[in-house]
Amino acid sequence: MQLHHFHGGLKLADHKAESTARPLLTLGVPKYLYVPLSQHIGAQTECTVQAGDRVAKGQRIGRAKDYICANVHAPTSGWIRGIVEHPVPHPSGLSAPCIKIETDGRDHWGDDRMEPWHDWRERDPRSLRERVRDAGIVGMGGAAFPTAVKLNPRPGKRIHTLVVNGAECEPYISCDDMLMRTYPEAILEGARIVAHTVGAERVLFAVEDNKPEALRALTDAMPSGEQDFLQIVSIPSVYPTGGERQLIKVLTGHEVPSAGLPADLGMVCHNTGTLKAIREAVVAGQPLISRIVTVTGPGIREPRNIEALIGTPFADLAAAAGGYMPDVDRLVMGGPMMGFAVGDDAVPIIKGTNCLLATRPQDAPQPGPVMPCIRCGECTRVCPANLLPQQMYWFAKSKDFDAIQDYGLFDCIECGCCAQVCPSNIPLVQYYRFAKQEIWGREKDRQKADLARERFEFRQQRQEREQREKAERLARKKAALGKKDSEAGDKKAVIEDAIERARAKKAAQSSEERPSKDRERADG
Amino acid sequence: MRFRTRTSPHMVPGHSVGHLMRQVLYALIPGTLAMAWFFGWGVLVNVVLSVLFAVMFEALMVKLRRRPVAVTLGDSSAVLAGWLFALAIPPLAPVWVLLVGTGFAIVVAKHLYGGLGYNPFNPAMVGYVVVLVSFPRELSLWPSPQGLMEGSFTLWQTLQTTLTGRLPEGLDWDAITRASPLDMMRESLVTGQTVGEVARSPVFGSFSQTEWEWAGNLFLLGGLWLLYRRVITWHIPVSMLLSLATIAGIFWVFDPDQFASPAFHVFSGAAIIGAFFIATDPVSAATTPLGRVLFGIGIGILTYVIRTWGGYPDGVAFAVLLMNMVAPTLDHYTRPRIFGHSGDGRG
């Protein structure tokens, strides 16, 4: 198969052998699980249980209340011990609502477990999509975008190719590698289910060439006669080939349009872990309640891959991997390039946790002082989006948000290549994140202001209209009165008579009012 | 357990600015030694004094600007500026030329614009051009190897000359200096000689004067090493030398008696050191790939124009400064096509 290149990228030492040397370990059920309500891109899930409730394994405890959202299920059986604010894996280091479950150790499935569909080929795409939605599946490569949304057809866009992303290009991470070695049949079945659901007639299964065992396992698991439908492609190991857009470029030579989606090219791309989860949801009736996590890095004694329940604290996984080295000082969720450091290992693993990376000071030393940009252009050379990071840095620094967007800020995938090669130690990706946040914030403010202005203008219009109507009414009344007057004629006597009448009336009124006012004062 | 939180990437960082600058310094060593071999101790005296002055001015300015002195000096950019400036100065030039040049380079061209990363012009070339236009006599006295040998210039005599501005007893400038190849070519053509006659002069090697050729070759070696180490990219040196050779070639083919050969232009004066060490200063050069190619082409053409029709024998310094002026414009109009965009990459 003819492969293509994308601009830039980095060849990085992959450090995957450390964690693939030991077999996959399945972690037992911990005493407490903390299941965050928000583990995905999109709206927060709505909690459907209360403290004291008894839950069965796989029971839904959080309901997706929005299109871009995902259900949350109890990873095991036990009791709900409250909806608590607990540290979650998030770059901010803040706490977020989590469902605290005290496990009962029985790991008991309830009666309303989803029905296993061995006959999924007979099911229509709509019900398969619903199953994926019910199972709370999100993209498991790290981004955690609700998968059901990606399976939904877009009007006028026919999907002909399913791209399976087994690239796993970031150093240290090997959970997909281990998954492909251990469950190749399940992943391939997941690929068939997705192809059936989206109507794809071809599957391209891409694996980086630094994973020969995974490639062999997949090839061995391929039934003969499927070669025309499913193709396993070994691709060069370059970071960030695992980026969806980069991967499609490597496989097809086509670039997904900047503001578009792979669907614009008739493609959809799913991670191997996601396919395995889809297979379990459809064929085994099991929602997404566990995943494989790579626990690795020079700060871990026995790096390995561990299958653990969602909600298990990082600390339990580290302990299962032999514990920390004595001088460990940083714990990262994700890989070394795009992951973020967490402040506390009490945080639970979530659906998107692919890797726990523990490092010592010498493995990721504090970079030297930030120096001025010398425009050496190394960042330009390695940028996989073909941007000019050095120019975008100036614009971010000077808060010239129009210019930075003109230079393609929103085409930046935050892969971190530029920051890694920058000789001036400038945290470039941070600048771009800052600029994006500012622009989004301003956009929101602008929308709010627009709404407020619209409301104000509407109110003004309404008041003007009311005033106008009032004036018109008055004018009409006056006109009517004037007519009457003129009809009555302008005889002096008549007018004088009227004035006299009015005077008398006024005098009578004021004499009535005064005592009443006095009375009020007395009451007060 | 608590951990420290820092921003990605969580890896051993790549090279530092200081590392890059020092790579360039290492690459200058062979060419500099070759120049010292042919032109005597004066070359090394110039380098040492200029570097000393440059670092001194840098420290002074950083102190005045209340920035961390050690960090700034650690980037080695002042050393590099001083060194490059020294290589442009005749080996027996008086010390105040070095002082004025490095002072202007570091104080005015670099720090008054905001220091490293903010200077629009190449500091070393600003310093050189200032002394070139201010002190034309001192800047034209290039000693000849033979002249130096006759005078048997020792390190001590060199230092004396540099510091006092006077030659040792019994020597005069006419005896020890000789026109540089570009000077020679220029003057001979003015007096009606042909290029061929100049090139047959005994001091000429295959393309230019032997010693300049050798120094050029060794600077070329250093430059290729920088390319290999990816300290610089090919864009500027290749486009500059190619454009210089191309335009020289066009005129040379048209009239080989009146116009020197492309090889002569490439191997004379500051073409090679300019292409690999001066024009590649990233701060003042264009930064987009295509912008760098255009930047190099511009320098090549301007160098030829100044050498052939201008008032100075060599034009690399002026060409670099002129192109520094248009670098931001080049960057603006040569943005690469962004991934997933069609056309010129405008977002």
| Residue A359 in domain | no
- Enter the tokens of residue A97: 């609502």
Burial track B16-36 (b if 16+ CB lie within 10 A, e otherwise): bbbebbbbbbebbebbbebbb
Whether residue A222 is found in the same domain as residue A145:
yes
Whether residue A128 is found in the same domain as residue A250:
yes
Inter-chain touch A386–B15, beta carbons under 8 Å: no
| Residue A88 in domain | yes
Inter-chain touch A245–B339, beta carbons under 8 Å: yes
pLDDT of residue B117 exceeding 60, the answer is: yes
Q: How confident is the model at residue A59 (pLDDT cuts 50, 70, 90)?
A: very high
In this complex, the residue of A330, A369, A372 whose CB is nearest that of residue B3 is: A330
User: Which residues have CB under 8 Å from A524's CB, separation 6+?
Assistant: none
Whether residue A310 is found in the same domain as residue A402:
no
Q: Is B311 on the interface with A (CB under 8 A)?
A: no
Whether residue A143 is found in the same domain as residue A283:
yes
Instruction: Give how many domains chain A has, as a whole number.
Output: 2
The pLDDT of A185-208, averaged and rounded, is 94
Query: Shortest Cα distance from B92 to chain A (angstroms)?
Result: 33
Does residue A125 contact residue A196 with C-beta atoms inside 8 Å?
Answer: yes
**Whether the predicted model's global pTM rises above the 0.90 cut:** no
Domain residue limits, chain B:
16-178, 181-207+234-331
Give the CA distances from residue B160 to residues B93, B171, B264, in Å, rounded to whole numbers and listed in that order.
Answer: 11, 13, 35
pLDDT of residue A4 exceeding 90, the answer is: yes
Does residue A74 contact residue A59 with C-beta atoms inside 8 Å?
Answer: yes
pLDDT at residue A485, rounded to an integer = 62
The pLDDT of A449-462, averaged and rounded, is 91
Query: Shortest Cα distance from A168 to chain B (angstroms)?
Result: 17
pLDDT of residue B176 exceeding 80, the answer is: no
Whether residue A68 is found in the same domain as residue A199:
yes
Query: Shortest Cα distance from A176 to chain B (angstroms)?
Result: 21
In this complex, the residue of B12, B75, B338 whose CB is nearest that of residue A408 is: B338
Q: pLDDT, tens digit, for every residue of B213-259?
A: 788 889 999 999 999 999 999 999 999 999 999 999 999 999 888 88
Q: How confident is the model at residue B180 (pLDDT cuts 50, 70, 90)?
A: confident
| Residue A399 in domain | yes
Does residue A283 contact residue A117 with C-beta atoms inside 8 Å?
Answer: yes
Complex ipTM: 0.86
Q: Is A140 on the interface with B (CB under 8 A)?
A: no
The pLDDT of B160-178, averaged and rounded, is 74
pLDDT at residue B205, rounded to an integer = 62
Query: Shortest Cα distance from A149 to chain B (angstroms)?
Result: 22
- Return the closest-CA partner of residue A242 out of A485, A1, A415, A435: A415
| Residue A496 in domain | yes
Coil, strand or helix at A138: strand
- Enter the tokens of residue A191: 């690929």
Residue with tokens 């998030």: A90
pLDDT of residue A380 exceeding 60, the answer is: yes
Residue of A388, A405, A418, A432 best to disrupt the B interface, most CBs of B under 10 A: A388
pLDDT at residue A522, rounded to an integer = 45
The pLDDT of B92-102, averaged and rounded, is 93
Q: Is A331 on the interface with B (CB under 8 A)?
A: yes
Chain A residue with CA closest to B75: the answer is A371
Q: How far apart are CA B104 and CA B101, in angstroms?
A: 5
Q: Is B328 on the interface with A (CB under 8 A)?
A: no
Query: Shortest Cα distance from B313 to chain A (angstroms)?
Result: 31
pLDDT of residue A209 exceeding 90, the answer is: yes
| Residue A358 in domain | no
pLDDT at residue A192, rounded to an integer = 94
Q: Is A327 on the interface with B (CB under 8 A)?
A: no
Q: How far apart are CA B96 and CA B162, in angstroms?
A: 9
pLDDT at residue B255, rounded to an integer = 87
Whether residue A197 is found in the same domain as residue A322:
yes
| Residue A387 in domain | yes
Whether residue A131 is found in the same domain as residue A215:
yes
Q: How far apart are CA B101 and CA B79, in angstroms?
A: 14
Specify the amino acid at residue B329.
T
Whether residue A332 is found in the same domain as residue A402:
no
Whether residue A378 is found in the same domain as residue A280:
no
Q: pLDDT, tens digit, for every residue of A323-366?
A: 999 999 999 999 999 999 998 999 999 999 999 999 999 888 87
Q: How far apart are CA A177 and CA B121, in angstroms?
A: 51
Domain limits at A234? 17-342
pLDDT at residue B343, rounded to an integer = 62
In this complex, the residue of B9, B17, B288 whose CB is nearest that of residue A374 is: B17
pLDDT of residue B147 exceeding 60, the answer is: no
What percent of chain B clears pLDDT 90, i.e. is strictly above it?
54
| Residue A37 in domain | yes
pLDDT at residue A34, rounded to an integer = 95
Whether residue A321 is found in the same domain as residue A387:
no
Q: How confident is the model at residue B9 (pLDDT cuts 50, 70, 90)?
A: confident
pLDDT of residue A88 exceeding 60, the answer is: yes
Whether residue A286 is found in the same domain as residue A167:
yes
Q: Measured between beta carbons, which residues in chain A are less than 8 angstroms from residue B289?
A: 377, 380
| Residue A166 in domain | yes
Q: Is the peptide bond before A384 cis (omega within 30 degrees of 0)?
A: no
Q: pLDDT, tens digit, for every residue of A478-509?
A: 888 877 666 655 667 777 888 888 888 887 77
Query: Shortest Cα distance from B53 to chain A (angstroms)?
Result: 23
Whether residue A337 is found in the same domain as residue A462:
no
Q: Is B332 on the interface with A (CB under 8 A)?
A: no
pLDDT at residue B107, rounded to an integer = 96
